[in-house]
Amino acid sequence: MTTLKHDKSKQRYEVEVAPNYWAHLDYLQHSDVLTITHTFVPDELRGQGCGKALMETVLADIESHNLKVRPVCSYAVVYLERHTQWQHLLAK
């Protein structure tokens, strides 16, 4: 199972994508909508599916809390366009 940390005070999710390597997703929350402002994967792990692991782990947590997302970060925008199974989480 993927390790997930959610620091609400920093408005950040962190996911361990490889042993001792963490990716993160930053957001701004307004009501029940999380605006995804930034995603980060360590340079040495880029192109290995870690961004996908980050997004899927975080989106599953967002879904479990009945929240919605508004992607602003370019990676999040493209990810959600390509992975239609998460379209129901998009804020209207």
Task: Please tell me whether the overall predicted TM-score, pTM, comes out greater than 0.85 for this model.
Answer: yes
How far is residue 92 from each of residues 23, 37, 87, 88, measured CA to CA in Å? 27, 17, 11, 10
Tally of domains within the chain: 1
DSSP 45: G
Q: State the Cα–Cα distance between residues 30 and 58, nearest whole angstrom.
A: 17
Q: What is the CATH number of the domain that holds 51?
A: 3.40.630.30
Position 69 in a domain:
yes
Position 90 in a domain:
no
Which domain, by its residues, includes 15?
4-80
Q: State the Cα–Cα distance between residues 90 and 18, nearest whole angstrom.
A: 28
CB atoms within 10 A of CB 81: 11
Which residue would you say has higher pLDDT here, 1 or 74?
74
pLDDT in tens, 38-91: 999 999 988 888 899 999 999 999 999 999 999 999 999 999 999 999 999 999
